[in-house]
A and B are shown apart, each in its own frame.
Chain A
């Protein structure tokens, strides 16, 4: 497969995953703000901004609606949902012959939805529906990708992008929320702490899944354990890293280069870190550093993928 094509598919997928993540976190934050007795609106906003990786120029000024509008609709703001969807579509357009017609028309529909004049007016009156319909659109695209595209190398690059972006995003989110999880509540049994914990889980669509595993008995260490180490839940870091590992392996089996030792080692290390550590050990050590290492490893994997599959030097390629 052409490197340029792999690159476009990879970024198309990463941008869509990013858009979905922003939407979900914004949704949760806005619903947490409805309860005025807990943390202030400003605190919630700052947590959101931090867990999205500090996109610049989103200082809290008290006007939630205009901030949310910027974060969703402003195409000039590079970290907005619309900007992400624009980028995803642009990448898809450049490899139109590689993706299915169904994928293309789904993505197009999503794109037109973001740019329709109704979207912003509707947003004011019916925020939840708008948020939900965009997330639905992204889910539909993923479903159509899985059912209409050949599961060859291109599809594996799409998966690689999705899971790498997701691992990174959840690690960032947990890094931000983790100190707060273990803070003693300001008021006993007030229920606000419960709301925040549910919020954190909902950021990863994990509340119901958590309840199935642990019952609705929410404790900070179990929440962390679930989002970090669960093997079976798609929005847990361990599961996502597994996805990255499988995608790289499949890329090789579908005609890509054998991954270099460096890359295999990088993924293996991350995989082992999550597979052979208990939550007790993590909490006994420096948990912030643990989460930070995950993020760094993700970036490292991205760089290696780039260096070996996409932007390799001609000299190195001719030598082999």
Chain B
């Protein structure tokens, strides 16, 4: 790149710090990484208003497609667009290849783990994973013991969160094995980006992700119960008040399947039916977006009205497939997470391709002492929570918060883990008129039916506040499109 265009870039970048964190776009010395060259040049040659115009046209595109969050509470119900950033995050073919192999390996192992724990429990008998860690997990479902699930697939829809450390290495932060969301934003981001930067998109040779709904449908179909060659597949939603309701309607529409609520379903003789205008229609596969706890008041929480009474018995009888299976939250418990490398070794006899983040278990005395002495440097998480809740970020915490967490850890060590505060990677985002780096993660979406399928890409989540490490959409995060290059 010539000196001139670097100068132009400097104006565009303004205050663009390059420090310890890995920058997706620039080398530590300020040079643009080779695969970001084309993007950098495009940006350098765009008049500043043009970027704003792109941003506005993208905003409008989100709004008119109805990709909005509904914020309730006020009577009117205001709608907001999902915050996003205009610049794509680029992933090279080599990087993607590693991620794909790593996730495939991990999902395969975790699935074998779930199958084992809910049947013979060999891994516990061999003392690779501590028994008490499994049985004390609040997402462990004893009702799943000895139950045969179709194709032995427990987790068919996964959205793992990856981070990139300052070494450039991708690591897995958590595996979301219950009801991961966000895939609709991955799909709609792409649609908007194709409209906003058609030339750039074309010149980059980006691998497509648009067939995700089709793959999901094929995955669900492959899990259909025996003897149901033309399965009736439905998506079970908690209903219109759920924050991911947009996604549920979107996926149902894209797959051409019915979107059902618990009140649409009835069970009789261990068969699930839905109420239609043509009478009761048998349901074969349920893509479940309702948590375990709320799925069947007979088995789980009795006060829930979101699920379907008798669903679990029909499931146990093998008359309906529910996916993900119940009790998969066990394997994304944040304390069990520390054992995933061992789990990979145990079942596959391979080294993990993607590593974990260093994790301290509070049940171990030595680790706990270390953590309590260093709370201001570490991140503490409650093991059963997700979405950025129940978390202490040491460097950003007050003494009072640390004291409160120390008390909680002492009171219930099983419920907490600690990890180092990660300087995870940053990518350039359009902030006002110029670029600034923001921390990003990556959530690829993994499907597992007759085989593992990962569409090349995922949701790159962005901590839009300067310096913030929290990317969750419920906590002020946004997203950007992820381009996996050919």
Q: Could you list which residues of chain A lie within 8 angstroms of chain B, going by C-beta atoms?
A: 1-4, 6, 93-94, 96-97, 101, 104-105, 115, 153, 157, 251, 255-257, 309-310, 312, 314, 317-318, 320
Contact = CB atoms under 8 A, between A and B. Distances in A.
Interface residues of B, number: 25
A93 to B, nearest CB: 6
A3 B276 contact: yes
B412 interface: no
Nearest to A115: B76
A115 B76 CA distance: 8
Contacts of A251: 277
18 contacts: A2-B258, A2-B260, A2-B274, A2-B276, A2-B277, A3-B275, A94-B240, A97-B249, A105-B64, A157-B277, A255-B277, A255-B278, A256-B278, A257-B277, A314-B268, A317-B275, A317-B280, A318-B280
Q: Is the interface of B mostly helix, strand, loop or mixed?
A: mixed
Given A4-B261, A97-B252, A97-B259, A312 B240 contact: no
Given A3-B264, A97-B253, A318-B280, A104 B274 contact: no
Interface in B117-171: none
Given A97-B253, A97-B259, A2 B264 contact: yes
B266 interface: yes
A296 B252 CA distance: 40
Contact of B275 (A4, A105, A153): A4
Contacts of B252: 97
B249 A312 contact: no
Interface in B75-89: 76
Contacts of A153: 277
Chain A contact surface mostly: helix
B65 interface: yes
A152 to B, nearest CB: 11
Contacts of A255: 277-278
A314 to B, nearest CB: 6
A314 B266 contact: yes
A318 B268 contact: yes
Contacts of A157: 277
Given A4-B264, A101-B66, A257 B258 contact: no
Contacts of A320: 279
A157 B276 CA distance: 13
Contact of A96 (B76, B249, B264, B274): B249
B59 to A, nearest CB: 16
B20 interface: no
A159 B266 CA distance: 28
Nearest to A6: B277
Nearest to A316: B279
Nearest to A157: B277
Scoring A6, A256, A317 by chain B CB atoms within 10 A of each residue's CB, the highest score goes to A317
Nearest to B75: A75
Contacts of A310: 277
